[in-house]
């Protein structure tokens, strides 16, 4: 008989805490170049993010500004050096080849769990005007402008953020506390939005995807989790606020 508690523990251990064996060594010169690219990209990306999120809903500059932001994250990440897809644990062990056994199901489950957690939090936020107001102002970009264009922007930026934060930046930090440092940096960058709920989201999402990056050694699992959460929030956050406000 399957023990649910044992299964949950095994899932959490495999998804978030037990790194798969790998060897992603770089030369000292390549590592210095990665750090330089990561630092320059961080400055550009933080400035673009803070500026674009302060634009009024319907302003066409929001669209090209956020696409420029995605381009900055992605170009900086690719320029910094090699990025890996990663691999995950199975019940038999782990895949030997890069890109094999990417933990898609694990990543989807984690994304859905994060989505459920934040929708539950949205029920509380709906009752607190000073927390609800900035969230709805952000969501106005989807309701006042083109929803489908905002959906594309959400997906593209989610992928680009993972390329940078869990790809280039994570690798640039080195072996000492990359999960903690990358999470703090991601949270601080998100805080430029001046939206408390989005900043909290950045902290939790950054922590979960950082743990995934440490476990899998790559960016694909964090990207799947990020997209599951962010696209789900785009579709479900406003209805949740409306239902409980």
Secondary structure (3-state) at 93:
strand
Secondary structure (3-state) at 182:
helix
For the chain, give the percent of residues with pLDDT over 70.
Answer: 94
Distance CA(67)–CA(176), nearest Å, equals: 32
Tokens found for residue 238: 């406003």
Mean of the pLDDT values across residues 162-178?
96
Residue 35 has pLDDT above 70, yes or no: yes
Distance CA(44)–CA(92), nearest Å, equals: 44
Mean of the pLDDT values across residues 160-176?
96
pLDDT, tens digit (0-9, with 9 covering 90-100), for 195-209: 888 899 999 999 999
Distance CA(171)–CA(173), nearest Å, equals: 5
Distance CA(20)–CA(89), nearest Å, equals: 7
H helix intervals, the chain: 4-12, 28-52, 60-80, 104-125, 129-144, 147-161, 170-173, 178-190, 196-216, 220-244
Q: How confident is the model at residue 116 (pLDDT cuts 50, 70, 90)?
A: very high
pLDDT, tens digit (0-9, with 9 covering 90-100), for 75-103: 999 999 999 998 887 766 655 555 556 77
Burial class of residue 75 in the structure, from the number of CB atoms within 10 Å of its CB (0-12 exposed, 13-18 middle, 19+ buried): middle
Distance CA(35)–CA(57), nearest Å, equals: 35
Secondary structure (3-state) at 90:
strand
């Amino acid at each position: 008989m399957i023990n649910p508690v044992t299964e949950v523990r095994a899932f959490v251990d495999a998804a978030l805490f037990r790194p798969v064996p790998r060897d992603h060594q770089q030369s000292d010169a390549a590592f210095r170049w990665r750090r330089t690219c990561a630092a320059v990209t961080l400055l550009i990306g933080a400035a673009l993010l803070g500026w674009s999120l302060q634009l009024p809903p319907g302003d066409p500059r929001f669209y090209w500004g956020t696409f420029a932001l995605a381009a900055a994250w992605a170009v900086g990440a690719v320029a910094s050096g090699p990025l890996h897809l990663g691999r995950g644990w199975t019940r038999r062990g782990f895949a030997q080849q890069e890109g094999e056994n990417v933990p898609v199901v694990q990543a989807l489950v984690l994304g859905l769990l994060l989505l459920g957690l934040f929708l539950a939090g949205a029920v509380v936020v709906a009752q607190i005007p000073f927390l609800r107001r900035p969230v709805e102002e952000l969501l106005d970009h989807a309701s006042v402008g083109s929803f489908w264009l905002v959906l594309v922007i959400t997906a593209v930026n989610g992928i680009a953020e993972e390329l940078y934060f869990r790809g280039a930046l994570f690798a640039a930090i080195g072996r000492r506390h990359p999960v903690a440092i990358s999470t703090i940096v991601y949270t601080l960058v998100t805080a430029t939005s001046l939206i408390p709920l989005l900043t909290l989201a950045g902290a939790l999402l950054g922590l979960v995807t950082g743990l995934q990056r440490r476990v899998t050694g790559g960016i694909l699992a964090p990207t799947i989790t990020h997209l599951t959460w962010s696209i789900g929030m785009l579709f479900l956050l406003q209805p949740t606020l409306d239902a409980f406000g």
